[in-house]
Amino acid sequence: MIKKIIKNIKNIILLLGINILILVFIIYVLSILFFKSLDNYTNHNVYIKIPNLLELTFDDAIKKLKNMGLRYHIYENDIYKTNITNTNDYIIVDFFPKNVEYIKPDRIIYIYIKKIKK
């Protein structure tokens, strides 16, 4: 009777140990897959050099940013603008980020524009 109980306990411990090893292996494989896919998701080691936009016309700057795959937000007198008419009447006076040489693709460049006095 006691031998049967001891044998059952040994079998239970053996099965428990095998299940724990399988669980550790599955967690290991899933963590490797997660971190490898994270590199692809965050575009690891993929950078674009920020162009110098100062004193470009608005149209030229937007063409340059679109060709590079960057997004932009436009500000005139610190007010966010969505519609700009007569785009050739504006020049870029500042942009951000500018001190950083490289950024990730599809990031936003904040452009500050000023109307050209004619």
| DSSP assignment string, the chain | -HHHHHHHHHHHHHHHHHHHHHHHHHHHHHHHHHHHHHHHHTTTT--EEPP--TT-BHHHHHHHHHHHT-EEEEEETTEEES--SSGGGEEEEEEES-S-SEE-TT-EEEEEEEEPP-
Compute the average pLDDT of residues 95-116: 84
What pTM does this model have?
0.66
* Whole-number average pLDDT of the chain: 86
pLDDT tens-digit readout, 32-68: 999 989 888 887 888 888 888 888 888 888 898 888 8
pLDDT at 118: 64
